[in-house]
Amino acid sequence: MHRLWHDPATPMRERKRIARLLITDVTLTKAERITAQVRLSGGRHHTLDLPLPLGGGKLWQTPGSVIAAIDTLLEDHTDAEIADILNQRGLTSGKNLPFHRLLVRDIRQDYQLTSRFDRLRDRGLLTAYELAELLDVSVPTIWKWHRAGLLEGEKYNDKNACLYPHPGPNPPRVQQGVHLDRRRPATTTRKRTR
């Protein structure tokens, strides 16, 4: 019987016929575990005790270590940068897939992790609109000064949108007729790495 059942040439319909001949009935009880009481045609009884299978959401749940890594990396990196770092570390999602920007964003939102924008705001960084009002210039001027290196800025998303630290006592000012590349650059702070 054992050889017939495990023979690859035995079709599935024959295995089903054998099972119907051997098994009289099966009673399933579901509690904290699944209990299957099997009654065979010869009068013997067998009891199987099985754990409950995990639901789809539990099977695909992102490991806690990955969530903790994302939370830590949000201090200094955008979603796409985090995805690259996690992939370099060999980590995968709950479905065993490599990370990408949108997957990191979804995990961040699902687990209610504080966004990079909010973390930078908590550190006192200003939006371009707030900084423009503070320096009495237009927002496009803030953007130009940042691109020219006259203002520091930290990216908070993958579209290169930035928040800006307070420029201090000697901020850049409008100098008509002076090219931006001839002006003093902002002092840059080293980016923290973890």
The 10s digit of each residue's pLDDT in 79-137 is 999 999 999 999 999 888 999 999 999 999 999 999 999 999 999 999 999 999 999 99
List of residues 6+ apart from 105 with CB closer than 8 A:
79
- Closest Cα to residue 132, out of 187, 173, 86? 173
**Residues contacting 119, CB < 8 A, separation 6+:** 74, 75
- Residue 190 binned pLDDT confidence (cut-offs 50, 70, 90): very low
- d(Cα 123, Cα 102) in Å, to the nearest integer? 25
Encode pLDDT of 16-41 as tens digits: 998 888 888 999 998 889 999 999 88
Looking at the predicted structure, is the pLDDT value of residue 193 above 60? no
Does the pLDDT of residue 167 top 70, yes or no?
yes
Query: Using alpha carbons only, what angle is made at residue 156 by residues 116 and 133, rounded to the nearest 5 degrees?
Result: 110
**Residue corresponding to tokens 């702070």:** 189
